[in-house]
């Protein structure tokens, strides 16, 4: 599944662990020119070195800062002359019942899960419209399709990602740009570690221990979407562990 991947410049946010790290490894092994963004620059640099990426392929990036996301994308263009794909992957999942009033957690989810995706779109679109090609991959969640008690704000941000992505899909048709929403279920990542309520964290940790599938499953889904011929636009993929009911 390396058709139409080799040689592509791919920017990945949240690339220091979990889904982003697995995707970086998978696409780099398939011949993509990956450029990595995340807050933990030491982990990014270690990954970049391991994958044998060119100097400057690991960029410290806080997706809540539009200027930093723009710098990440612009650096990819400086290194490789273009951007073919952006994977807006960075995310947080601090679940809690609304009655607990975890306003700081709500704000963080909106800033990272929603604004971070918008900032990625804003950074990539000028380059992609100019070159009249590109692919924007936005990460939603099963929670963007089904809300559960304790996940209302997280589900709202992930539903918003799907809505924005569908609007984007229609707007970019004149520029030959493709869009994909990836909505994973329980996949091994550090998402459960962002939960600040101890009882909720314990429940989610148990759920992930029982059901979560390897992060490479997400990487393979992304590779499937971006490996399609240019005339094929895979707009949405929803996947879960086979054993996951919710």
Q: Annotated active-site positions, please?
A: 154
Phi, psi for 6 (deg, rounded to 5): -55, 130
The pair of three-digit structure tokens given for residue 145, joined into one six-digit string: 């399709």
Q: Where are the beta strands (DSSP E) in 83-140?
A: 85-88, 134-139
Chain-centre distance for alpha carbon 108: 16
Q: Are the C-beta atoms of 244 and 146 separated by less than 8 Å?
A: no
Cα gap 165→95, rounded to integer Å: 23
- Quickly count: other Cβ atoms within 10 Å of residue 169's Cβ: 18
Residue 34: which residues within 8 A CB-CB, separation 6 or more? Answer: 10, 11, 12, 15, 24, 27, 28, 51, 53, 57
Tokens 């601090």 correspond to: 94
The pair of three-digit structure tokens given for residue 246, joined into one six-digit string: 């919710």
Q: Where are the beta strands (DSSP E) in 94-189?
A: 134-139, 177-184
């Amino acid at each position: 599944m390396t058709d139409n991947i080799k040689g592509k410049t791919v920017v990945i946010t949240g690339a220091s662990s979990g889904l982003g790290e697995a995707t970086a490894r998978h696409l780099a092994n398939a011949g993509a020119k990956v450029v990595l963004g995340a807050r933990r620059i030491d982990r990014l640099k270690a990954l970049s070195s391991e994958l044998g990426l060119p100097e400057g392929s690991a960029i410290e990036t806080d997706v809540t800062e539009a200027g930093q996301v723009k710098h990440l994308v612009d650096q990819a263009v400086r290194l490789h002359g273009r951007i073919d794909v952006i994977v807006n992957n960075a995310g947080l999942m601090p679940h809690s019942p609304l009655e607990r009033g975890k306003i700081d957690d709500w704000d963080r989810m909106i800033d990272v899960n929603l604004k971070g995706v918008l900032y990625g779109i804003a950074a990539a679109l000028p380059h992609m419209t100019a070159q009249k090609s590109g692919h924007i991959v936005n990460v939603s969640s099963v929670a963007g399709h089904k809300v559960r008690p304790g996940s209302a704000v997280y589900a709202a941000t992930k539903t918003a990602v799907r809505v924005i992505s569908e609007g984007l899909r229609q707007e970019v048709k004149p520029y030959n740009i493709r869009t994909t929403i990836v909505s994973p279920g329980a996949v091994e990542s550090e998402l459960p570690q962002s939960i600040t309520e101890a009882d909720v964290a314990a429940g989610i940790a148990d759920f992930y221990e029982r059901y979560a599938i390897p992060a490479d499953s997400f990487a393979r889904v992304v590779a499937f979407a971006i490996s399609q011929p240019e005339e094929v636009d895979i707009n949405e993929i929803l996947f879960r562990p086979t054993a996951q009911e919710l």
